[in-house]
Amino acid sequence: MPVRAVAQWLPSGPVRLLDGRLRLGGEISATAGTPADGTFFNYTDYERNTLRTFRAAVTGLWQPAERLAFLAEVRIDDAQSVTAAAAYIRVRPWRGRPFDVQAGRIPPVFGAFGRRAYQADRPLIGYPLAYQYLTSLRSDALPAGADDLLRMRGRGWLSSFPVGSPYAGPGLPLISAFKWDTGVQARWLTPRLEAAVAATNGTISNPRLGDDNSGKQLAGRLAVTPVTGLVLGASASRGNWIARTVPVASTARAQTAFGGDAEYSRGYGMIRAEMVWSRWDVPFVSPPPEGRQAIARAAWIEGRYRISPRIYIAGRADRLGFSSITGASAAIPLPWDAPVRRYELGAGYSVQRNLILRGTLQFNQRNGSRLDRRTFLTAQAVWWF
């Protein structure tokens, strides 16, 4: 009896159960880097090092009806904590129209990078500065004047201020890539156009499961695909970023942000770029001449090229800058936080379709800080289904 040849089975999509109404997917990534990050360049708002992590995630979608679905993701980070990174309901009110409403712990609206939930969607190991690097600003403690803020330049991993919490703690990034928003989102999605608007707790720098300041964030994004391979996007958001536990008299408490992003892929190459402008209203007790605002600007560009179906090379150039303020003891205005540059080069090898091994070399430079530069060599394995 002849034996039929069978190709190796490699999962290319989620596991389907209950006639396809239940779908499960997952990803496991292990990352190791050297040396230890005593400079805290890759520290996150979860107080972890992105270049030394282990993560296991399981995602699920249950669709009991044609226009109703429940989605969730559970993560285990460094074998220390289990979190529900996502948990929301999706409703499509009208059959045949590309419109849906999502409620719960929902995917982010703002920007492009944070919407790539899986490591496999990213060509490099490190994160862009806008989505990971911690500024010195905190939602639970505030500077009384410009000198308090300037004193914490380049110390976002453990900053302290006289107003609010008396304990030192990590600051806020421009945008958090490690927490999803909680609220309601409406979306119109076609192959050529995506438009979304959301009302959520917290802000893009500090998404929250529960409301801590009786304020909501409004965020929106518009993305178009004018030609095949090209995506252009624009985002905006505004929300109250200061916790109600901080005693401040001023009503100026908003984080306002604008972003633009682009992606182009053709043949073996892909290039992405993104810019973010963020302004925090800071209710200083003694405001500097520049006013009650702290502004940050970030921009990055990355590219990937496939040398073969299994091997690619990639690189990213990244910059984060800050507006200047004048302290009582300063002769000239200074950036309110230490500007940072980051360059990362890497390569990846696909052992099989759903298993990637890669390595990167990352260089960081911070101006105006004692811990001003560090280079990291990092390796990572990513498996998904």
Report the C-alpha gap between 299 and 319 in whole angstroms. Answer: 6
Residue 67 lies in a domain: no
Domain CATH number, residue 304: 2.40.160.10
Residue 31 lies in a domain: no
Note whether 53 and 78 are within 8 A (CB): yes
User: What is the extent of the structural domain holding 108?
Assistant: 95-384
Structure confidence at residue 213 as a pLDDT band (50, 70, 90): confident
pLDDT at residue 11, as a whole number: 52
Task: For residues 253-276, give the mean pLDDT.
Answer: 97
Residue 182 lies in a domain: yes
Residue 320 lies in a domain: yes
Residue 318 lies in a domain: yes
Q: What are the tens digits of pLDDT across the range 173-183?
A: 999 999 898 99
Count the domains in the chain.
1
Looking at the predicted structure, is the pLDDT value of residue 9 above 50?
A: no
Residue 53 lies in a domain: no
289 preceded by a cis bond (ω within 30 of 0): no
Residue 52 lies in a domain: no
Q: Among the listed ranges 83-92, 157-166, 201-210, 326-335, which one has the minimum average pLDDT value?
A: 326-335
Residue 233 lies in a domain: yes
Task: For residues 167-192, give the mean pLDDT.
Answer: 95
Contacts of 18 (CB under 8 A, 6+ apart): none
